[in-house]
Every structure is written in structure tokens, then in C-alpha cells.
Amino acid sequence: MEEAPVSVSAFLTKQITRNILSTLTLSQYDLVLIPGFVQWDSSDIEEEFSIYIKKGPEFASDLPVILKNLDDLSLSNVIPANRILVNSGETKLKQLIDEIYRKAKENLGLNTYYINPKRSNIIIGQGLPPPIIAEIVNCTKKKNNDILKKVEHYINSGADIIDIGCIANNPDVTRIKEIIHLIRKNHDILISIDSMDSSEIFIAVDNDIDLILSMDLGNYEEFLDIPKTIPIVILPTKINEGYFPKDPETRVVNLLNLTRKMHAVGFKKLIADPLLETPIAPGFCNSLEAYFLYKKQISQKENKHLELPMFFGISNVVELMDIDSVGINGLLASIAIELDMGILFTVEHSSKLMGGVAELRESTNLCYLSKQNKSPPINQGIQLFKAKGKTNQAFPTIDESNIISIKELKSSYKSDDIGYFKIYVNQYSREIYVLLFSNSHQLSKTFVGTNAEAISKEIISLKITEDLYHINYIGRELTRAETCLETGKPYIQDE
């Protein structure tokens, strides 16, 4: 390893690199890695020195992982190696899914089928990556602009199906029709309806809904005349009678019985929901047992013809835990992939779940790739770290005689003559907004961006303020804002 005469890797220039390379016997090397943070393209000096000169990782701590996977990576003159590693996992996944989908198209049936081949090529079934349904909670009461904003956010986060969440005991058939037309006019995506009300389901069917959530033993007979090719999620309940079985065995028996009844009258696309419940009360493990038991029962020869894809409503777990969602989504995704779930259902109803759809998508991708590789979901080229990571920076030896120890924060404050900044994070547009107000509270400038360093450098270049304390504050808050943008955590400015 050659040490450049710079204190920060991003400061390495082409000329400094040329100077270093000119002192080396390059015939002894196959590859030169430069820091991932450098801002220039290495193509020209690669040609000049007739040796591969590629970007390494942005952080030196990632170098061992990059070197370990070097044979599988196509390093770049422009893109840092750690980002290439992530992209390599996504590329492998796409290749796998393309091949698996090709085989699935040759084996369509009662447990492997298109959700709606007229609108989408998404197939649900055995061995396939489960599509994600993202619900707009209380959708019928939301304004059109809010619905479209949520739909676009869900699509950008990786959702495959947008669910119209209805309100129990408050049907609104007119609004259901309007929402379906609104989404269809603006986006090409599958739509489902989450309602147990017959009037809402019928209006959705009349307006070409792609998927129905849900029918059970208490209401399925009302819908015997609807098109039999619409996928329907079935439950082991009788909601209209207040019947909700707790026993896993009873749930499985009810699902198998309802499957027989609906197959007998011609329904071809069913999805079984053994019902995932909240942790502790009423209990996650009891409901999870129903999924294991269902899988066991349909593997038996006498029940094989009743096998259906399974529905996994993970929002029942994630929404009702005051714990960061990323780890919960990851664990639930691993359970879903192990049990070969047919479809996943989630929401982003509260601030703590912002970004949850994207977390579930990435977690599902990681776990699905791992299953195909027959290995644990680690070192697959896909990572979902937000608060923690796999590598660490080496801690140097410190000369303690030169330490300046800061014991407490000096709380004195003097207002800046230029005014004050208000910082906001828009999680839907994925942007940071910085508003400059005068001390008389008049808005004078607005900055919008996604990168804390870029925004702060722009503010400095415009010489808006020369108050070092204020500049320090802006940098600190912008860094916090960028972290919140990346993690989905709500940003609240430190006043």
C-alpha cells in the first residue's frame, strides 16, 4: 500500500496519483485501487500507465470485504467499489428471478398464477419472490393529492400492489370508484381493496380491481357470481359473526374447508391467510404456528390439491412494536422466504414506519437471494444497515499528553445578524429543505438538496454568514437531517 501526501482521501488528485505511480515498478502489479471518495474518473491515467486503475471502497474499513470478493466484481473508474458490491447482489438477484419466472410460466396452476396478466407480469406462487402489497390506510377519507403522493412513494419504495384501505363499518362505494380511477389514470400498477363490506367489494370488482382482501367462511357466499379469475385472500374466520379462532389447528382446518368450497364453485386464484398477530398480546408465536401447520398440512398427499400461496401481513407485527422497523422487517422477511410465502402486506401509517416498504423490499431481496444460494443472508452483495454496520475504523494510538478534554457544552448563544435557518426533511420527495429567515422572520432564501455536504458548501460559498458557531451548527444539523433522510427517522431540528 502506498501512502499519498494528503490527510483526507478525497483530496487525492490525478497529479498526485501520477507522481506516486511514476515511482513504482508497475509490472509487479495487476491492479491499482484508489480511494472511493476521489471525485475524478481514472480512465485516462489507466490508459496512460497501461494498468487497471479502479476505484476502491469509500472507507478503508471496507477494503477486506472488497478484496475477498474481487473476482466477482467488475470494478469501475467512476463508481466506488463498495457500491459496485451492492449492485452485484442486485444483478445476481435479477438474473435468478428472470430464470425462475421463466420456469414458473411453464407450470401455472392453482398455486402459481399471474395476479392479472393484462396489467402486470407479476406471478405469485411456489418458489417465487413474494410481491409486496402496500396499504394506504383509511384511503377513502384521504384527499386525491395525498393518495397520489403516497402511491408514488410506495412505488418508488418497491411496492408491487397498492392497497385501498377501507374503514370498517363506514363504507363509501363512490369514493372507492373514484380512487381506483385516480390511481389507474396516474400509475400503471396493480390495485387491491382491503374491505369486508360487500358493497365496497362489488364496486371494486365492477371497476376491475386486481386483488380482493378478504373473504371468509361468513361472507364468501355473497360473491359467488363475481369473476372467478380475480385473486382473493381467504381467512379462517367469520368476521360478520365475531368468530376469530385462536387455535392454529382450527385456523388451518377452516382454511382448507374454505378452499374446497371456493374451488368447487370455480374460484381459481386463492391466497390463504392463517393470520399473523401482534407480539405478546394476543401473541406472535401462536399465529406463526398456524403458518407452519398450514405448510405441513398441504404437504400431505391428501391435501396437496388444496395448496395455496400464503398471505403474510407483517404490518400486524411491525406497526405494534416501539422498536426500529428495519430489523423487524429483516427478520420477518427471512421467515417469509423460509416458509415460501406467496405475498407480503405492509403499511407506512405512522412516522416510525416511514421507509418500511423499502426496508421490506431490500430485506426480501437479500433473503430470497440467500435461499437461492443455500446460505445465510450474509455476504450476498445486498446489505440493509442503517444504525450499525459490519466493519469498523481502526483506532489509532493517542498521545494523551496533547489531549484537550471537553467536559461540558458551553450554552452561551449570540444571534447571527444575517438571521436564522430552519431545516426540514421531506421523506416523500427524499429532499432536505433549508430555509433562511431574517431576524424579523422574513424568508429570504431556500436551499433544496439531498446531500448535507453539498448544501453546506453552497451556503458557505455564498458567504451568507461568517459566524463560525453558526456554520458549525448548520453543518451539524444538516448531517442529522441527511441521516434521517437515509434511515426514515423523523427529523426535528435542534433549536
C-alpha 202/C-alpha 196 separation (Å) is: 11
Rounded to a whole number of angstroms, the CA Rg of the chain reads: 28
Angle in degrees, CA 403, 409, 415, rounded to 5:
125
Q: Is the distance from CB of 108 to CB of 143 less than 8 angstroms?
A: no
If one counts every other C-beta atom within 10 angstroms of the C-beta of residue 388, the result is: 7
Question: pLDDT in tens for each of the 495 residues of the chain?
Answer: 778 887 777 788 999 999 999 999 998 999 999 999 898 999 999 999 999 999 998 877 778 878 888 887 889 999 998 888 877 778 888 888 999 999 999 989 889 999 999 999 999 999 999 999 999 999 999 999 999 999 999 999 999 999 999 999 999 999 999 999 999 999 999 999 999 999 999 999 999 999 999 899 999 999 999 999 999 999 999 999 999 999 999 999 999 999 999 999 999 999 999 999 999 999 999 999 999 999 999 999 999 999 999 999 999 899 999 999 999 999 999 999 999 999 999 999 988 889 999 999 999 999 999 999 899 998 787 888 887 777 777 777 888 888 888 888 776 667 899 999 999 999 988 999 999 999 999 999 999 999 999 999 999 999 999 999 999 999 999 999 999 998 888 899 986
Q: What are phi and psi of 300, to 5 degrees?
A: -75, 145
- CA distances to 52, 104, 179, 239 from 90, rounded to whole Å, are 25, 21, 33, 41
Q: Is the pTM of this model over 0.85?
A: no
Residue ranges per structural domain of the chain: 9-89, 107-373, 410-487
Q: 3-state class of 245 per DSSP?
A: coil
Q: What is the CATH number of domain 107-373?
A: 3.20.20.20
Contacts 24+ apart (CB under 8 A), 201-205: 201/226, 202/173, 202/226, 203/173, 203/176, 203/177, 204/164, 204/176, 204/180, 205/230
For 214, half-sphere exposure in the C-beta direction (CA atoms, 13 angstrom radius) is: 23
